[in-house]
């Protein structure tokens, strides 16, 4: 006989995650979600950690997913507001190992500052959402969510509410899912969300959504349950259990996968019965979609739009409506597949000018040094994101501001070694890089963080930030020292001159080889703020064999010429090309001997 367990919804989700092959769980505490992670921490086969907040938790879980492992991240409903930045773009990048985000909502505000209905986030991000209605389903749906995540290359929202999270019920354990870990393969068009790739991914999301719609129609998670009365009820989550008890003879459309809505199954319910009601807590999320099909339905005019429901509330609210004369039937109007915008075509005859790092940009030196090591460089947002593009190909990801450090930590934790590094700008570090660094320290993550400190927020036009102390009126305010900040956290930190390639290269190498977590601050002001040219660079055409090592830097000042390279007027004389040339073909004018080091 099968062993039957008695779990709260939260315990069931944790056990369900282990059964589904998840090896990484993280989250930030908040009622009613907290016990999911606490339970996971007691189970074998899964690593569980508290993160510093929900944004960092999601980014860390994304790192574990990218490393090819199944990961689950837990939070209360308001936590998803904190994690909304990575969440919205994660819909575009998709996943590698399955990724399930548990949002535990709190209708009635038992322990919350608001009672927002997070089903709206599924619609907002165009991701599938599952809503279990009891502990058994909480356990079972986790595996369904992981399977959907990998099949459709999407994060999946698993929505719980207080009653489900804290209520207890029987759970029959199932056979464990057997999984092969997925390999990580760099794929910048999937994981680096610069506009040119994000536009393409966005189209895939719209197409994926149509496929998910079709899946919702077929899915055994969405069940049309026959009744004997001439009324039908559409419900998901715990609201289903209340409605089932209140109207045992009704027909039901029970939605386990409540987003996207299976419109045709809804229409089929309307064919069976005279009157249909939607029973849902909080917003008219399903009701509005049913009304949009042109089908008359009873919803929030009868049921409260705030607080929790129960079977008595549902019965008393719906009884008078469901016993009335039925409205005139209408034919449903199904939502059409949306048209996609025409792909913009470049004007004929114009050259393609991809965005590039400026000539002399010191971010280029960091990428050149990092490329020498076999670490997956998790990127962030700033000018330096351009380092992901050819020819540098030096960043593997760009999800949202501040994501690099959490993703690095999750990636390395999931693989149990220093396999990824993080690259983040100084402004971005202050924006949202400090919290994941604290988190990485607290969770003893391995990794190398390179802060590209160009003393400004260059990408948006040279604004000040706490590191520079510069105010919008260009007056000087107090400054925060990044090195001291890191050391205050307890993290090793070295500041090096990003113009001195040898020193920078050595510092990065030392940190790659060192155990644990370390930060290298690559310091040099943005080249656009330094007006002086560091020196004239000459090419020795005899020595140059056009091997391409200097052209690989992607510096707009260098161009291939006949059998050699040419240095154009935009050169700032940074001299990085001299450093990478193996034949001593490049040198500063006036320096003695070909390839001699110049004034940098
Ligand atoms: C949440 C959010 N806020 C603002 C922006 C706009 N933004 C993009 S990068 C960036 C800061 C870049 O500065 P820094 O990290 O110093 O890198 P730099 O461009 O100087 O290399 C900002 C403000 C954004 N993408 N996301």
Return mean pLDDT, the chain: 94
Query: Please, where in the chain does CATH 3.40.50.970 lie?
Result: 5-178, 363-529
For the structural domain made of 537-588, what CATH number should be given? 3.30.70.20
Average pLDDT over residues 523-545: 93
Q: What confidence tens digit (pLDDT) does each residue in 511-531 have?
A: 999 999 999 999 999 999 987
Residue whose CA lies nearest to ligand 1 atom number 9 = 382
Q: Which of 182-196, 206-220, 329-343 has the lowest mean pLDDT?
A: 329-343
Atom of ligand 1 nearest to the CA of 429: 15
Residue in 43, 141, 27 with CA at minimum distance from that of residue 76: 27
User: Ligand 1 centre and the CA of 147: distance in Å?
Assistant: 35
CA distances to 53, 257, 313, 437, 445 from 440, in Å: 12, 35, 47, 5, 5
Q: Quote the CA–CA distance of 204 and 90 in Å, as a whole number.
A: 13
CA distances to 205, 438, 588 from 518, in Å: 37, 12, 34
Residue 551: band (very low, low, confident or very high) from pLDDT cuts 50, 70, 90:
very high
pLDDT at 247 over 90: yes
Contact 209, 126 (CB under 8 A): yes
Residue whose CA lies nearest to ligand 1 atom number 24 = 401
328 dihedral zone (left: phi>0; alpha: psi -120 to 50; beta) = beta
Residue 102: band (very low, low, confident or very high) from pLDDT cuts 50, 70, 90:
very high
Residue in 554, 556, 581 with CA at minimum distance from that of residue 394: 554
CATH superfamily, domain 5-178, is Thiamin diphosphate (ThDP)-binding fold, Pyr/PP domains (3.40.50.970)
Could you write out the DSSP letters of every residue in 50-74?
Answer: E-SSHHHHHHHHHHHHHTT--EEEE
For domain 222-322, is the CATH number 3.40.50.920?
yes
Q: What confidence tens digit (pLDDT) does each residue in 279-326 have?
A: 999 999 999 999 999 999 999 999 999 999 999 999 999 999 888 887
Query: Please, where in the chain does CATH 3.30.70.20 lie?
Result: 537-588
Q: What confidence tens digit (pLDDT) does each residue in 438-467 have?
A: 999 999 999 999 999 999 999 999 999 999
Backbone angles phi, psi at 439, to 5 degrees: -65, -45
User: Ligand 1 centre and the CA of 380: distance in Å?
Assistant: 9
pLDDT reported for residue 2? 63
Q: Class assignment of domain 363-529?
A: alpha beta
Residue from 459, 461, 462 whose mutation best tests the ligand 1 pocket (most atoms within 8 A of CB):
459
pLDDT reported for residue 595? 43
């Amino acid at each position: 006989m099968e062993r039957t367990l008695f779990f709260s919804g939260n315990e069931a989700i944790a056990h369900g995650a282990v059964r589904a092959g998840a090896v990484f769980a993280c989250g930030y505490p908040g009622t009613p979600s907290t016990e999911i992670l606490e339970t996971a921490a007691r189970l074998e086969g899964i690593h569980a950690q508290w993160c510093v907040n929900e944004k960092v938790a999601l980014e860390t879980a994304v790192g574990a997913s990218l490393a090819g492992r199944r990961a689950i991240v837990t939070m209360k409903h308001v936590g998803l507001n904190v994690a909304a930045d990575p969440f919205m773009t994660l819909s575009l990048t998709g996943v590698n190992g399955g990724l399930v985000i548990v949002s535990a909502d709190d209708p009635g505000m038992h322990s919350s500052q608001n009672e927002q209905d997070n089903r709206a986030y599924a619609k907002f991000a165009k991701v599938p959402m599952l809503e279990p209605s009891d502990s058994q389903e909480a356990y079972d749906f986790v595996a369904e969510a992981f399977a959907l995540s990998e099949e459709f290359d999407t994060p999946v929202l698993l929505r719980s509410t207080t009653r489900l999270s804290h209520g207890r019920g029987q759970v029959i354990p199932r056979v464990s899912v057997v999984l092969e870990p997925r390999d990580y393969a760099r794929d910048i068009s999937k994981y680096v969300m610069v506009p040119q790739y994000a536009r393409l991914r966005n189209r895939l999301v719209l197409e994926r959504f149509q496929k998910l719609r079709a899946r919702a129609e077929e899915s055994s998670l969405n069940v049309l349950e026959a009744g004997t009365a001439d009324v039908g009820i559409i419900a998901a989550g715990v609201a289903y259990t209340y409605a089932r008890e209140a109207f045992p003879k009704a027909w039901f459309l029970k939605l386990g996968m409540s987003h996207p809505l299976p419109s045709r199954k809804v229409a089929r319910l309307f064919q069976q019965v005279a009157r249909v009601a939607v029973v849902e807590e909080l917003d008219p999320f399903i009701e509005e979609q049913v009304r949009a099909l042109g089908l008359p339905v009873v919803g929030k005019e009868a049921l409260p739009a705030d607080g929790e429901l129960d079977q008595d509330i549902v019965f008393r609210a719906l009884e008078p409506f469901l016993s009335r004369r039925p409205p005139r039937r209408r034919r449903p109007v199904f939502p059409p597949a949306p048209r996609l915008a025409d792909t913009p075509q470049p004007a004929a005859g114009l050259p393609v000018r991809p965005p590039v790092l400026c000539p002399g940009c010191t971010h280029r030196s960091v990428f050149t040094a990092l490329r020498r090591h076999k670490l997956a460089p998790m990127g962030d947002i700033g000018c330096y994101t351009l380092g992901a593009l050819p020819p540098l190909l030096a960043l593997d990801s760009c999800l949202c501001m501040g994501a690099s450090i959490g993703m690095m930590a999750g990636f390395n934790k999931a693989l149990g070694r220093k396999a990824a590094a993080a690259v983040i700008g100084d402004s971005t570090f202050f924006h949202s890089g400090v919290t994941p660094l604290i988190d990485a320290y607290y969770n003893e993550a391995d990794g190398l963080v390179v802060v590209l400190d160009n003393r400004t927020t260059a990408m948006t036009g040279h604004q000040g930030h706490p590191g520079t102390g510069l105010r919008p009126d260009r007056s000087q305010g107090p400054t925060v020292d990044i090195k001291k900040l890191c050391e205050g956290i307890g993290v090793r930190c070295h500041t090096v001159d990003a113009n001195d390639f040898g020193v920078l290269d050595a510092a990065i190498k030392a940190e790659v080889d060192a155990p644990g977590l370390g930060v290298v601050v690559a310091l040099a002001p943005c080249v656009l703020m330094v007006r002086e040219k560091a020196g004239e660079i000459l090419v020795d055409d005899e020595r140059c064999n056009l091997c391409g090592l200097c052209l690989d830097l992607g510096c707009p000042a260098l161009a291939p010429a006949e059998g050699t390279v040419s240095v154009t007027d935009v050169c700032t004389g940074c001299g990085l090309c001299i450093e990478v040339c193996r034949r001593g073909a490049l040198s500063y004018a006036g320096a003695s001997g070909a390839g001699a080091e110049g004034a940098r």
